[in-house]
Amino acid sequence: VSLQLALDRLAKGPLPVVAGGTDFYPALMDKSAPADLIDITQFDELKAIDAIDDEWRIGAAVTWTDIIRANLPPAFAALKAAAKEVGSVQIQNRATLAGNLCNASPAADGVPALLALNASVELRCASVTRIVPLANFITGVRTTTCRSDELITAIHIPTLSATERSTFVKLGARKYLVISIAMLAVNLDFDESGKCCRCAIAVGSCSPVAQRLTELEQVLLGMSIDDTEKIKEYIDAASLSELSPIDDVRGSAVYRLLAVRSVLKRAVSSVINDYNSSRKLI
């Protein structure tokens, strides 16, 4: 079966789609598995990670383990760190980034790192391919703009400066196999004079869809790499108005906001330390 044949079949009517199956099968609960479905992992063209022109293209059948093993620039450190936090090694071996995005859980570990990388989603139906920014792809809890006649075929990430650094922090009630209370990805880049020239901060598990903290990003742009105390003060003062955490069994809304501030300060310091160590090596 070719990818085009699968898309032609989807054009005739909905059919369940599965990749690693690590969200799909547990969601069936007591229902039996459908007799007919499209397994996208059979399409070799969806398994590649390529640097093409001015972007990276990650195929829809690429697993978290593939990401951990791939030779990617330092700006992808947060995505690699997120990959290591998805379930267990067995889950990482099967589960895909694309499946994580389609499942659209507020606690999906892949979303903050991909938002901070300005990722877009490539959606294909039998006749057309469209590219949707990830920020517009996930529209709510478990809802996306993927139509029933479409497949995600790839994730696109613009090429970023070789000096950009990033980190991902997942806060959970235990170390492994945990749904996060809050998580965040931070990408920072500085120009030759040490001024912050790119700042991307994305937070998950604190709103129906993970959010970029655009207000704080604007404040931190232009700040000096040596001004870490001032940066922390700005984080303490930030409104975090993009977030709307809820109280649930994992943590209260108040705790989540406190945790985000605290984890964010640590994450920014860690990226700056990483940045400074890489500068010393040059």
Ligand X SMILES: Cc1cc2nc3c(=O)[nH]c(=O)nc-3n(C[C@H](O)[C@H](O)[C@H](O)COP(=O)(O)OP(=O)(O)OC[C@H]3O[C@@H](n4cnc5c(N)ncnc54)[C@H](O)[C@@H]3O)c2cc1C
Please identify, using beta-carbon distances, which residue of 54 and 176 lies nearer to ligand X.
Answer: 176
Using CB under 6 A, pick the residue from 12, 26, 36, 193 that binds ligand X: 26
Residues shown for the chain: 282
How far, in whole angstroms, is CA 272 from its chain's centroid? 21
- The residue from 49, 70, 72, 91 that contacts ligand X (CB under 6 A) is 91
* By CB under 6 A, residue 146 contacts ligand X: yes
For ligand X, the binding residue among 10, 62, 78, 95 (CB under 6 A) is: 95
* DSSP sequence for 215-243: HHHHHHTT-BTT-HHHHHHHHHH---TT-
Residues 150-169 that bind ligand X (CB under 6 A): 151-152
* 10, 18, 79, 184: which one binds ligand X (CB under 6 A): 18
Rounded Cα gap, residues 130 and 23, in angstroms: 25
Among the listed ranges 88-96, 221-229, 244-252, 258-266, the one in contact with ligand X (CB under 6 A) is: 88-96
Size of the site for ligand X (CB under 6 A): 29
Q: Is 205 in the site for ligand X (CB under 6 A)?
A: no
Check binding of 14 to ligand X (CB under 6 A). no
Instruction: Choose which of 10, 77, 80, 99 interacts with ligand X (CB under 6 A).
Output: 99
- Our finding on whether 22 is near ligand X (CB under 6 A) is yes
The only residue of 3, 6, 10, 17 in contact with ligand X, by rule CB under 6 A: 17
Q: Which of residues 34-73 bind ligand X (CB under 6 A)?
A: 40, 60
Name the segment binding ligand X (CB under 6 A); options: 3-11, 80-88, 194-202, 228-236: 80-88
Nearest residue (CB) to ligand X, 142 versus 265: 142
102 touches ligand X by CB under 6 A: yes
Q: Which is nearer to ligand X, 7 or 238 (CB)?
A: 7
**Is residue 208 a contact point for ligand X (CB under 6 A)?**
no
Residues 106-125 that bind ligand X (CB under 6 A): 108-109
Nearest 5°: the CA angle 112, 116, 117 is: 120
**210 touching ligand X, by CB under 6 A:** no
Place of tokens 């108040």: 254
Closest CA to 9 of 108, 149, 119, 139: 149
Instruction: Point out which residues bind ligand X (CB under 6 A).
Output: 17-24, 26, 40, 60, 85-87, 91, 94-96, 98-100, 102-103, 108-109, 146, 151-152, 177
